[in-house]
Structure 1
Amino acid sequence: MICTTGGTITASTTPDGAVLAGGSEAATTAMLDGLRAVLPGEIRVSARQILDGDSSTFGPAEWDTMVAAVADIFDDPEVSGVVITHGTDTLEESAIALDLHHDDPRPVALTGAQLAADHPEADGPANLLDAVLLAADPVSRDLGVLVVLGRAILQARGVRKWHTTDPVAFARNSPEQPVEQLPPGMERPVLGGRARFSEVRVDVLACSPGSDATALRACVDAGARGLVLEGTGSGNLPPLVGDAVAELATERPDIVVVAGTRVPRGEATATYGGRGGGAELATRGVLNVGYLRSGQARVLLAALLSVADDSATADAATSAGEAGEAEVSEARMASANVVRQRWSRFHLYN
């Protein structure tokens, strides 16, 4: 099954050179016709449109839509795999949102393009063909969600768009040792329930050198349940931001804070002491992104909070008869604690 969501792979170019993604039914039809013309006879494909737009406009609601669509498709035992055509801008977020839910051995492959469908050197058709062939190959079973672009095949967790225009658009930040040498805990765990991303606010803040806590406080006031703070080095924050996080740990322990880094490669760890240092932050209950980066860490944090909320709110409602304001507050605190306990398992992956 091929699920289309729009993106550059079916985009058109205006006379003044602007690329328009979405609303391209004719381009989608042409893309699928071209694919069927070159596929081996034993591979049969069908298609379903689940979204239609530029992926830069996608967010939590669209992640919910994609997760639900894939689950529905896999209810059919005749389906051997799913391919999703997707814009590259936010493909990394969609990939981990899907992978966190994907406990079926059948593969899901996300693909897209860097050049519009009407470009003379369009890369979309080749990428789509590769993705379909991969999804149809038994070797792809049990690998979870895969990203297929520019002849590269990457597992979802840790994947990141690394170049704005290069055909090899994505790279993966991951442990350097071979998979067979990874510790037993470094696997691909999935959620114990369905996350509802659109119901949980998690914000990402760029904490550049010298930043204060103005943006952090604004996010808290806006109702953020979680914060991913993109710092420097191995996950260190400016002193004023570190001070605000320390205050938050005392005043709002129901808000989960994750420290990340602007460095593209390597693991973020709680190493340095001092105001805003990763080691000092860890004493305040701050988590770190590990090998993930801010976009995927946000998705993971929202997913864990959502699933934990379901359980905590249900428990509160059962004990109180009907969950009121106090019970909801207690449930959110319980959810935050559950996320802190589970985080280290989920941000590691093979």
Structure 2
Amino acid sequence: MDRVNSVETSTDTPHVVICTTGGTITASTAPGGVVVAGDSDVATQAMLDELRTVLPASVRVSARAVLDADSSTFGPPEWDRLVDVVADVLADPGVSGVVVAHGTDTLEETVMALDLHHTDPRPVAVTGAQLPADHPKSDGPANLLDAVLLAADPVSRGLGVLVVLGRAILQARGVRKWHTTEPVAFARNAPDTPVEGLPPELERPTLPGRARFTGTRVDVVSCPPGSDAVALGACVDAGARGLVLEGSGSGNLPPLVAEAVTELSVERPDIVVVTASRVPRGEATATYSGPGGGAELAKRGVLSSGYLRSAQARVLLTALLSLADTNAGAGAEAGADASPEAGAAAVRRQWSRYHLYS
């Protein structure tokens, strides 16, 4: 595997680095039809050899093995690893763009973690496959080619992290996997019309510092009609610093869950609660009255996820809580309030800046 180095790259010969993490794009099919991870080094080399036969000679590619697993096994440690690796790759001024080959199961979390930190104008394209590498109709080669061409194209600069699958190109924030098997695996939840101010493609504020996802527990709790607060209580007992509650409609909660959230706001102001919606499209907002309505919950300090759904809201909340802890440590040295309650209050103040199109 070629490793990224500081070799000069001319402006007319873009250099794209492919960071591999395993996933279906390098997987194979065992007897009985079970998809299994193969030898990623071999699969990646085969993928690169095939790519180079169709790639314009003006584009140079190299690969860097980062992870080797099904993305369903990924979590905060893997998000941290990928954020660090992408930053390291882009430290080379000769690199024109980055492609991350990733499993589709948790791609929406990874791209959110990357995009929150991606201040460099050079593009990062994240791609994968719905069919394994040895399938006669594998979509991986075409997706990889599209991602590399996008990452090499100057027109992609300044757009942040992009998801490239099934000939679709989507910005990271608001993305979610919407189909388990179709080639067009992802859709993006965002406003139908531009918001006032910057064009929608530029509405992606980045974090002021490096968040560390590992070590900050944020749980997602499904809150279907009639549910009680048992799951919520278990998450709190397990040490959750934040909760993303997936409700109905605009993010409304069942009565027993809403009652527990109200009690939590008094007894544990150090825990940040965000409501999201199980509805695929549209905005979660503090609109409705009543004990479980968003408007009433907002009075208790509960946040709404906007156009983000629960997976990406969890990533954002984890990042903000991590930064609050970092700032609290610095504040403690200066004699400022470094309590968990102060950190949670800071997250609540900052939340609307980062969730999509507040």
Q: TM-score range by the shorter chain?
A: over 0.9
Which one-letter code corresponds to 1:110 in the other structure?
A: V
- Structure 2 equivalent of residue 267 of structure 1: 283
2:81 aligned with 1:81, yes or no? no
2:81 aligned with 1:65, yes or no? yes
Q: Scaled by the length of structure 2, what TM-score is found?
A: 0.92
Q: Pick the aligned partner of 1:190 from 200, 206, 217.
A: 206
- Structure 2 equivalent of residue 344 of structure 1: 352
Does the C-alpha gap of structure 1 residues 257 and 185 become closer, same or farther in structure 2, counting only changes over 3 Å? farther
Residues 74-114 of structure 1: per-residue CA shift (max 9 Å, x gap): 11000010000000000000001000000000000000000
Does the C-alpha gap of structure 1 residues 165 and 185 become closer, same or farther in structure 2, counting only changes over 3 Å? closer
Which one-letter code corresponds to 1:256 in the other structure?
A: V
| Cα contact 1:308–1:335 (8 A) shared by 2 | yes
2:58 aligned with 1:38, yes or no? no
SS at match of 2:219: strand
Q: Scaled by the length of structure 1, what TM-score is found?
A: 0.95
Q: Pick the aligned partner of 2:341 from 328, 333, 337.
A: 333
SS at match of 1:199: coil
| Cα contact 1:269–1:288 (8 A) shared by 2 | yes
CA distance in 1, matches of 2:75, 2:43: 24
2:26 aligned with 1:10, yes or no? yes
- Structure 2 equivalent of residue 175 of structure 1: 191
| Cα contact 2:71–2:105 (8 A) shared by 1 | yes
SS at match of 2:61: coil
The percent of aligned pairs where both chains have the same amino acid is 73
CA distance in 2, matches of 1:185, 1:42: 32
Return the offset for 1:23.
4.1
CA distance in 1, matches of 2:121, 2:231: 42
- Structure 2 equivalent of residue 129 of structure 1: 145
SS at match of 2:214: helix
CA distance in 1, matches of 2:155, 2:180: 30
CA distance in 1, matches of 2:90, 2:339: 33
- Structure 2 equivalent of residue 295 of structure 1: 311
Return the offset for 1:307.
1.1
Does 182-191 or 242-251 show the bigger shift? Answer: 182-191
Return the offset for 1:20.
1.1
CA distance in 2, matches of 1:291, 1:161: 14
SS at match of 1:260: strand
CA distance in 2, matches of 1:141, 1:212: 47
Alignment RMSD (CA, Å) = 1.5
Does the C-alpha gap of structure 1 residues 211 and 16 become closer, same or farther in structure 2, counting only changes over 3 Å? same
Matches within 5 A, 1:162-311: 162-178=178-194, 181-184=195-198, 187-311=203-327
Stretches of 4+ aligned residues off by more than 6 angstroms: none
Return the offset for 1:348.
2.3
Return the offset for 1:252.
0.4
- Structure 2 equivalent of residue 324 of structure 1: none
Q: Which segments of 5 or more consecutive residues in structure 1 lack a partner in the other structure?
A: 321-326
Q: Which segments of 5 or more consecutive residues in structure 2 lack a partner in the other structure?
A: 1-16
Residues 284-319 of structure 1: per-residue CA shift (max 9 Å, x gap): 000001000000000000001111210112211443
- Structure 2 equivalent of residue 160 of structure 1: 176
